[in-house]
Structure 1
Amino acid sequence: MLKIDAHQHFWIYDDVRDSWISEEMAVLRADFMPSQLLAELQQHHFDGSVVVQSDQSSEENLFQIKNAKHHDFVKGIVGWVDLQAEDIEDQLSGLTEYDKLKGFRHILQGEKDRALMLKPAFLNGISKLKSFNYTYDVLIFPDQLKFAAELAAKFPDQLFVLDHIAKPDIKGSSIAEWKKDIIALAQHENVYCKVSGIVTEADWANWKDEDFRPYLDVVFETFGIARLMYGSDWPVCLVAASYPQVVGLMEGYTSQLSSDEQALFWGGNATRFYNLK
């Protein structure tokens, strides 16, 4: 099986477009491109990665498609498309020429309308994905988990993956409500979960491996090994941890698993979910 980092980003920094990068995240105010990630992947024996959009524009798709074209290790792209557009079906059809474009994501966590994903126009867009074999990455905060479960229930044949285990408040050790809603979401077998982006939800300067165990226990128990995939969230992870630290954290946790289970987590599930070559 391939060993895949199923969640990372590339960008050429723009202080207007990337205004989400706050002062305390200043380490991210730089360019992060494929050649930089390749060194990390090679060091940790990854076969490739899935790059995920960070900007909501058609230009973002073309930027990542170009990166993937020139770097074979980029096995898949999660892009962006306006799912609420009236011509969404035509847009999706036009994108099918790009083999490495595997699915889409909308930054739902940033929407004032917390239930935007359940609005008719958005649902219409989601309804068109399956016919083109596109996946959908669900980027939300814990207060939106209930809406995500409702979304998954409406489209049982559509593949969804929850990004960053829905960003629980690990720094504040808040877990009860998140756990209840994760259990409900995981009951939908069309939903996978990325174990990614967790270091940035902890105390950036003082986290310890054991801080994550209660949350990891929940997702491993509820989703099961066949629906979990590893993602570094590089370079965003750098505000709290180096690439080796992120890998080491999950190597430590998954050391309890069998070799077959580890192969699924570290790449097998991502390969199947995104239909990677």
Structure 2
Amino acid sequence: MIIDTHLHLIDQSALSYPWLAGVPALNRDFLYTEYAQQALRVGISGALHMEVDVDPADIDAEISYVEKLSKTPGNLLRGAIASCRPEDASFADFLERQRQNRFVKGFRRVLHVEPDELSESALFRENIKRMQGTGLTFDLCVLPRQIPQAIALADNAPGVQFILDHCGVPDIKGKADHPWREHMVEIAKRPNVTAKVSGVVAYADAESWTVETLRPYVEHTIGSFGWDRVVWGSDWPVCTLGGGLTHWVAATHAILSGSSEGERTALLSGNATRIWKL
């Protein structure tokens, strides 16, 4: 059984995604039916929808869109990680509103395309700290050089469960281990941070990567955090940039072939079930 903790759905007839204009390979609809056909074939039994950086005016609409989908018979969707704007004074009201919706399991503010100063502001950090005690998680999508900013957020809000996306976004294609490798060891010292082993095929050379290309990055992530603080995600459809969902699932199983059944279960479903109470 696999719980996919990082699924993006794109429906341009329903929501606005300004950033897609700059990424032609992803600038089309990626709907639930297309994902589900592939997911069921590779053993995915549940999924969390990850916000897709919609236009800020569509944040609430995206939550409603995914929640409505989840109510169709046999649907794989178990919850949503919603977009948010902790840099805004309105975040406190937004947080209180979303706390009433059990379908919302956490939040994310994409940081890797924003100035570092965004997450360093007093208001941003104060608002993230407001999440303490809510049971809601906060996903960290940062570049390796920004991991120190992620560490600062985790230290400032020890009562918030943070999820570090995509193994910390290593530059696999460029074979750039540093400072990613050292930063991963450092952030893993924070007990309130869990790492997401998700979609790293998108950071490798799409034409030439093999299991052994990905293995050092996945194994270093697991080795740094331990089996009880890692979860799995597809990052579909971004993973299509590196071969797609079935290739990523197959590579994951190959990398995990030497681990115990308990370790594999923890990464692929157990930890996610516990963290998000699925």
- TM-score, scaled to structure 2: 0.92
- TM-score, scaled to structure 1: 0.92
Q: 1:51 to 1:184 in 2, by over 3 A?
A: same
Q: Which runs of 5+ in 2 are unaligned?
A: none
Offset at 1:217? 2.1
User: Do structure 1's residue 31 and structure 2's residue 33 form an aligned pair?
Assistant: no
2:220 alignment partner, one of 199, 218, 222: 218
| 1:1-277 aligned within 5 A | 3-13=2-12, 17-20=17-20, 22=22, 25-26=24-25, 28-56=26-54, 57=56, 58=59, 59-70=61-72, 72-111=75-114, 113-276=115-278
Distance 1:248 1:115 in 2: 38
Distance 1:142 1:13 in 2: 31
RMSD: 1.8
Letter in 1 for 2:76: F
Letter in 1 for 2:178: A
Q: Which runs of 5+ in 1 are unaligned?
A: none
Q: How many residues align?
A: 272
Letter in 2 for 1:117: S
Letter in 2 for 1:17: Y
Offset at 1:17? 2.8
Identity %: 29
Letter in 2 for 1:135: T
Task: Using CA pairs under 8 Å that are at least 6 residues apart, name the structure with larger relative contact order, 1 or 2.
Answer: 1
Distance 2:124 2:134 in 1: 17
Distance 1:95 1:269 in 2: 23
Distance 1:21 1:240 in 2: 20
Letter in 2 for 1:250: T
Asked whether the 8 Å contact 1:68–1:100 carries over to 2, the reply is no
Asked whether the 8 Å contact 1:84–1:124 carries over to 2, the reply is no
SS for the counterpart of 1:5 is strand
Q: 1:246 to 1:36 in 2, by over 3 A?
A: same
Letter in 2 for 1:91: F
Asked whether the 8 Å contact 1:167–1:197 carries over to 2, the reply is no
- What's the CA shift string for 1:174-207, capped at 9, x where partnerless? 1031100110000001100111121111111221
Asked whether the 8 Å contact 1:93–1:132 carries over to 2, the reply is no
